[in-house]
Structure 1
Amino acid sequence: MTTPVSLGRILGYLGLAVLGAVVALAGALVQDAWPPGGLLLSLAGCAALFYGGWAATGSRIGVAVPAAFWLVCVVLLSTTRPEGDFLFAAGASSYLYLLGGALLAVICATVPYLTSSGANRA
């Protein structure tokens, strides 16, 4: 680990975790609302969160923290309740949101980032 652990860094990661949960909930509500614009808006929110986490922290942990919380929240939101309530209906839009968001997290975490001088910033 090249950066020291500080209170500000910990609070930043906690903020990214909360944003991951918020983006998961917002995406669950919007992805099926205005086809296909809602799905694209939901995926754009995921991409912005994951890339923004990397840009804000300068490390891949900045992608992993919101992505993990996003994934946990999406899985919890996709389960049905005893009353029969659910947020994700069985359909192409829901599956594309689930798979597309996970794919965006993997892309943001594994693509090498270059600085303005062209050097690799892993």
Structure 2
Amino acid sequence: MSSAGRGSMLAQPLQRPSAGRIAAYVGLFVLGAVVGLAGSLVQAGWFPGGLLLALVGAAGLFLGGARAVGGRAGAVAPAVGWVITVIGLSTGRPEGDFLFGAGGGSYLFLLGGMALAVICATLAPGRQPGGDAARLAK
């Protein structure tokens, strides 16, 4: 039976992701955390070029993850790792130590990275159902 006869993709039963897909999501999550850590260090060191480099690197990872996995979840997984890492690094410690300065570049990095994560997850192609292409008047 073709996919056109079974109804829309939303009406299909939910399938469990394969072990390889889960491993890809975990790997993208860890890569997002690494890019967030590296961007946190670079953005203040070489301002404004470091800020642009950090944001372009994050956007590349988000879009690359979506293309590699073939769906929006490929952009969301590294974005979640990036956001958790950057927010965790932006909080102050009881000893008074902190990684981010109080300048505008830190806020641009934090808010710009979050905006890029949303944009990349929105623009990423959604997963398409397999099977023959269905066309009207066929």
TM-score by length of 2: 0.77
- Cα deviation, residue 7, structure 1: 1.2
Percent identical among aligned pairs is 60
CA contact (8 A) 2:40 2:100 kept: yes
Partner of 2:52: 40
Ranges in structure 2 where 5+ consecutive residues have no aligned partner: 1-12, 126-138
SS at structure 2 position matched to 1:32: helix
- Cα deviation, residue 2, structure 1: 7.7
- Cα deviation, residue 4, structure 1: 5.4
Cα RMSD of the aligned pairs, angstroms, is 1.8
d(CA) in 2 for partners of 1:66 and 1:3?
Answer: 22
Runs (4+) off by over 3 Å = 1-4
Ranges in structure 1 where 5+ consecutive residues have no aligned partner: 114-122
Whether 1:56 and 2:107 are equivalent positions in the alignment is: no
The higher radius of gyration belongs to 2
d(CA) in 2 for partners of 1:77 and 1:112?
Answer: 28
Compared with structure 1, are the counterparts of its residues 38 and 112 closer, same or farther at alpha carbon in structure 2 (3 Å cutoff)?
A: closer
Letter of the structure 1 residue corresponding to residue 111 of structure 2: L
- How many matched pairs? 114
